[in-house]
Structure 1
């Protein structure tokens, strides 16, 4: 492998948190007396910041309402998110193989850093990830390259030795903005044709295909 560092998005790249995400959105909508959204519409917003997802789903850009939404979302997510997050079946083996091969690993996500810590601890794999950059660690969310560049800097590696793997066009745009190679994985809601609009080195059906020549 030409890379010494592989950095991943989290939701729908390493894990499926659909239950927690949908529950938290609809809990917040209920608290705000806003009609709920169906699962598929909500899933299409994963990868966006909570603020952007709220605007996309409701069309409401009122700052006070968005702040309330974020608070209500977190209220429910603290209860249900991590314990209902399911790792994909090849997530642990992929991270373990990378670790055994001496490759740096990281996670860059719009999800809260502490939530990722919590989930990795539940699954006993915190030692397989070298750096985490969450939504609260940056000033501007993806597709800004800020989080990805922060992770890369913390690992003291060069841009041309980094591969970023993600499941959404937000991830593709993030890699492009950071000037690092991108591999798409189609375990989320974005298909091969959509990814083909952006630079990529691989489009994977699952993480295990990362090791195919």
Structure 2
């Protein structure tokens, strides 16, 4: 029985890709690094910013990663909220699950204050009991600590929760936390990316989630 639902944010509840691509491009340009192909940048969405740099350039230097992060965040503070659009099905799914009495949370590498601003704009922030963002933990997905932190706040045992995400990193984090996982295909991942994951379901979008969970 599912007693709490926790969502990833980017490519799960919302499409921030336009803003993310612009911020990646900005940071690379400011560092005089070559631009990356758009398809490659899209595949990096969901990774931490230092891992994004490594994924795009191969550079693993912590100092370079920190500078990339600083520049990305600097530009994101200017443009990200305006470039983020909730998926059409997200509001109705959120309100349906909340009406069914389920506590809701978000666990994301995106900064919490940015998620809060977007949800406040959409009049949905009050539906979430906990948001764990990139600034709230030192170890990020696939490390399970952010999911564990959310579930402690929700007073929900891992086996009685479910985590919804679009990326294999989300599936791995759920597995390491002992949380059942549902994949959505609204990002860049296909069904084959979840072949090794133990999924309750793989959904084309969020619209089928309430029925999958019995609501």
TM-score by length of 2: 0.96
| 1:77-99 CA distance string (max 9 Å, x none) | 00111121000001000000011
**Alpha-carbon contact 2:97-2:210 (below 8 Å) kept:** no
SS at match of 1:144: coil
- Structure 1 ranges of 4+ moved more than 2 A: none
1:73 aligns with 2:72: yes
In the TM superposition, residue 208 of structure 1 has moved relative to its aligned partner by 0.9
Structure 2 residue runs of 5 or longer lacking an equivalent are none
Give the match for residue 28 of structure 2: 29
Alpha-carbon offset, residue 203 of structure 1: 0.4
Decide whether the 8 Å contact of 2:10 with 2:46 is kept in 1: yes
Q: Distance in 2 between matches of 1:157 and 1:145?
A: 15
Structure-2 residue corresponding to 1:89: 88
CA contact (8 A) 1:187 1:205 kept: yes
Secondary structure in structure 2 of the residue aligned to 1:148: helix
> What is the root-mean-square deviation of aligned Cα atoms in Å?
0.9
TM-score (norm 1): 0.97
Shift of 1:122: 1.6
The Cα shift of 1:29 comes to 0.3
Shift of 1:211: 2.6
The number of aligned residues is 212
C-alpha distance in 2, partners of 1:162/1:102?
13
Structure-2 separation of matches of 1:141 and 1:27: 23
Q: Distance in 1 between matches of 2:211 and 2:2?
A: 14
SS at match of 1:136: coil
Q: Distance in 2 between the 1:40 and 1:58 partners?
A: 14
Secondary structure (helix, strand or coil) at the match of 2:187 reads coil
